[in-house]
Amino acid sequence: MSEPVLLGVDSFVARTTDPHTERVIGPEERFEHLLDEIALADRVGLHSYGIGEHHRSEYFDAAPPVILAAAAARTENIRLRSAVTVLSAADPVRVFQEFATIDLISRGRVDLVVGRGSFTEAFPLFGLRFEDYDELFEEKLDLLLRINESPTVTWSGKHRPALTDQPVYPRPSQERLPIWVGVGGTPESFARAGLLGLPLMIAIIGGEPRQFAPLVDLYRRAGEHAGHPPEALRVGLHCFGFLGDDVAKATNAFYPGWQEMFTQVAAERGGMPPSRRAFDAMRGPDGAFFVGDPRTVAEKVLRVSEQLGGVERINLQMTNPRLAHEDLLHSIELLGTEVAPLVDKG
């Protein structure tokens, strides 16, 4: 029997046009909808809800800690997480203080996922060179981990003023904030997370999840080599996903916004525009998308977990620019009430 996989939702708080009426949803209404979505995810028993970080006109998630604090006050059980915090462009002291505060508001329900994110706008916005990304990330992660270990910190680095016996408060409700490393597809990122003994959140936005098996193995071998216990080397996935009563309903609701989103990305980055054929392949049995009816999605959850040697959690990125609020609510409800019980059975 397969091990159960914890299920959740991630959101980039996309600017949305109602596909039924073509009415553009304003930011105030979009945030009202978002908090309704998170509250529903809590009620139907999903494990976690994550908020991304972007600094672009098509997303409203530039300040994830503010959103998560509002969600903490509206929920009781669901874990709240970043998806991801762009640590290279942030101050680790402030990141810790903000998420420790949310942890107190939520009574210990916060996970912090740190990484680069899929866009680069944060770097020029905060006066940083993208070329320094890796050095910035490594240094700032070191400081964040030091702060998490002790309320008094002595530290020095290249990109931030030194700290000498500096107290950092508040402290979280949990003994320490759970800090995950969000990664894409570079072996160095997987190995670094393993050497540090930190849990791993893998963003799989295309291709086939089973292709990541060698990288997951590298992560686990690096962690074992560094002396970390197997239970510390946990793996989660961030993937596109959407639920409907049947495969056609799920696909027809999710595809138009996905196509719009990646047409824009392709234009910016010079790639091939997305196609329905590519989308259908990725929602197929071996593809990266968890789109379909509850049984189809549950079977894929278990299959992907087995392919990667055991996955602790999978969070589905459901939001896009052309999703009706009621369809998104229905998808969240199906994930919690129908997919999660099937996954629990293994």
| Sequence-separated (6 or more) residues with CB below 8 Å from residue 2 | 302, 305, 306, 346
More confident call, 133 vs 171: 171
**CA–CA separation, 205 vs 22, rounded Å?**
27
**Cβ 12 vs Cβ 338: under 8 Å:** no
Q: What angle do CA 36, 42, 44 make, to 5 degrees?
A: 100
Task: Examine the pLDDT at 1 and tell me if it is beyond 60.
Answer: no
Task: Examine the pLDDT at 323 and tell me if it is beyond 80.
Answer: yes
> Mean pLDDT, the chain, as a whole number?
96
Task: Examine the pLDDT at 261 and tell me if it is beyond 50.
Answer: yes
Cα atoms found within 13 Å of the Cα of residue 5, Cβ hemisphere only: 31
pLDDT in tens, 109-133: 999 999 987 788 999 999 998 889 8
Task: Examine the pLDDT at 79 and tell me if it is beyond 50.
Answer: yes
6: tokens are 């914890």
Q: How confident is the model at residue 4 (pLDDT cuts 50, 70, 90)?
A: confident
Between 133-149 and 92-106, two packed helices, what is the crossing angle to 10 degrees?
50
Task: Examine the pLDDT at 3 and tell me if it is beyond 80.
Answer: no
Task: Examine the pLDDT at 136 and tell me if it is beyond 50.
Answer: yes
Domain ranges of the chain: 6-344
**CA–CA separation, 168 vs 152, rounded Å?**
6
* Cα separation values, 263 from 55, 122, 260, 266, 321, Å: 19, 22, 5, 5, 12
CATH of domain 6-344: 3.20.20.30
Q: How confident is the model at residue 184 (pLDDT cuts 50, 70, 90)?
A: very high
Q: How confident is the model at residue 2 (pLDDT cuts 50, 70, 90)?
A: low
